[in-house]
Each structure stands twice: as C-alpha cells, then as structure tokens.
Amino acid sequence: MTLRLGLTGDVMLGRLVDEQQLHRSVTAVWGDLLERLRSLDGLCINLECCLSTRGRQWRRTRRPFHFRAAPEWAIPALEAAGVDCCALANNHVLDYEEPALRDTLDELDGAGIAHAGAGATESAALTPASVAVGDCSVAVVALTDNTPEYAATATTPGTAYVEIDVEDAGTRRTVETALGQALARDPDLVIASLHWGPNMETEPPEAFRRFAHWLVDEGVEVVHGHSAHVFQGVEVYDGCPILYDTGDFVDDYAVDPSLRNDRSFLFEVTLTPSGTPVELRLSPTEIADFAVHAAGDEAASWSRDRMCELSAPFGTTFDREGEALVCRLGG
C-alpha cells in the first residue's frame, strides 16, 4: 500500500485571514479541501506567520508587513487539516519579536505538530523535525535565505539562515550540520524545506538548481521550495522531486493579474511503504474569500498549462489524470 504525503506553499493565517477566522468556523480557511487534506497520510506546510496574540511589531529594520494569527483558532485549524509539520524558516516568524516566536513554538509543541527552521538558538533552529507518515519515518530540515536579521545565533532566537551558495564554506557547514542530524536518525525519507529567493519570480536561478542538486546528492529525497508567492517548475533529479516553489496556499495578498499568485497546487508525493518517492500529483488550487479551494475550470487549466511550461526546461513531463497533473518519479 502506498502513502500520500502532502506539501503546500505559504500558509499565511494572519491579518485579514485572522479577522475572518475569528467570526467563522475554524475549518473555513481550508474551503472545500478539508477532507482532501485530512485524507493524506502526512502534510507539511510553510507557516508564513507567528501564532500569538503577544509581542510588538519588529521595528529594528524596515518591515512593511507583519503577520500574526490567534492560536485560539489557528491551532485547531491546523489540527483539523491534519498538519503534521510546519516549516518556520521564513521571513515572518519573528514579525512580533521573540515573545510571539516563543508562543508559536509552544503552541505547536502543545498540539503535537512538528516544526523545524526556527528556535531559541541557532542549534534549535537547525534541529530537524521528525514526522511519521504511515509507518515511514520522515525527517524535515527547514532553511531560509530571507531576512538575515531574523537569523538565530548561538544565544538569540530566530531562523535557520543560510546563503544559497554551494561554494560557500559556511553554508556547507550549516547545511551539513542539519542534514547530519537528520540522517543520524536513519529516517525513511528526508525533506529539505527551503524558503528561498525573492517574491514574484517565476524561475529559479542557476544557483538554486546547483544547491538543490547538492542537497539530493547529500541525501535529501524531496526538496520543498517556497517564498516567491508564485509556483515555479518541477525538476526530477536522480528520481527525487525538486519543487522549486510551491507558491501560496492561503493568504490575503493582493493578486497580480498576470502572475496569479492566488493559484497553485496541493503537491502530493506518493511513497512506497519503505518511503521511496514514486509519483508526484499536482491538484490545482486557488485562494478566494481568505480560504483555499479546489481551482475552478479556468484557473485549473491556466495552472496546469503554466506548470507544464515552467517544468519543460527541466525535462519534466506530466500526464493528466482528472483535474490533476501526475509525474512518475521512477522510484
């Protein structure tokens, strides 16, 4: 029997999403995808906000946006969808300073939701998360090249920050430390969740491709990228899926009429019982009313065509199955 591991782009539950959720069902944010999410054997997201009602907005450097959601509804919503792991290495986890970050960590711990990529120290931020997907053990390492002022140090809280440069000795040491911890647990699957690059870019730079290939060579089997707010192409390298950017899953952002940052996919990796990725399934999604939904016909067609176009330079092809795109990984 195969297993289904879901991956999403940015889940931003703050600001207008937070306002709406305080007056509607906690599961409303998942729209008509709730049962689909709950049916997965595992689900990992990038949590693009802190979960707290405390703290003050970061003002030490210029930050135009600050994202914070009330744990009273956000935690039950994550639990209802079956979220197993939150990547926290991003440019919003410290938006309300240290108290809100600590609340986020405590709230997730209290709910039994694994997390990686941020912590009370750099060592804690680099510590991989451990997740059970069926009978498979999964280790998740989360890293970011965004917002260096949010980087954790030996004595201060923050994110697992790295430069995306395989030639940089410091980057290699940091990543090898995190991956070494992950591999020491002898997991069935290793995921690298990367919040990398600037907003609204539709293609990864060559440096990202080199970095992703190096990660696979070092033992990573799924690369889960996010940050651009728009999805990018998929590459299959040595049988492993590289999702350069999974776009936005839930948020309240203004929509670019050309780049359509309100459209993306639920990315599902099919695993063998021993944890080998064998298939990637992309189900089109779109954001409306501050919630995620299965994409309508026009949006789904646009997203499928766009994904095929963006993935073609990597030699990646898809089959069509119903509304979804499917890529065989050869595992």
Give the residue from 325, 322, 245 showing the smallest Cα distance to 280: 325
Phi, psi dihedral angles at 16 (to 5 degrees): -70, -30
**In contact, 170 and 219? CB cutoff 8 Å:** no
Interatomic CA distance for residues 130 and 133, integer angstroms: 10
User: Which pair of structure tokens corresponds to residue 176?
Assistant: 């090898």
**What is the predicted pLDDT for the residue at 331?**
55
Interatomic CA distance for residues 210 and 39, integer angstroms: 34
CB atoms within 10 A of CB 274: 11
CB atoms within 10 A of CB 157: 21
- Sheet of 189-195, strands arranged across: 129-133, 136-144, 189-195, 222-226, 240-243, 234-237
**What is the predicted pLDDT for the residue at 6?**
98
- Tell me which H or E stretch contains 145: none
Q: How far is CA 69 from the centre of its chain?
A: 17
Domain 3-328 CATH assignment equals 3.30.1360.170: no
Give the residue from 84, 196, 63, 208 showing the smallest Cα distance to 142: 196
Sheet strands (E) in the chain: 3-11, 42-47, 50-51, 68-69, 85-87, 114-116, 118-119, 129-133, 136-144, 158-159, 189-195, 222-226, 234-237, 240-243, 248-250, 263-271, 277-288, 291-294, 319-321, 324-328
Longest dimension (CA), the chain: 51
**In contact, 88 and 118? CB cutoff 8 Å:** yes
Q: Mean pLDDT per 10-residue run, the chain (331 residues)?
A: 97 98 97 98 98 97 96 98 98 98 98 98 98 97 98 98 97 98 98 98 98 98 98 98 98 98 98 97 98 98 98 98 95 55
Residue 310: partners with Cβ closer than 8 Å, 6 or more residues away = 202, 203, 231, 232, 233
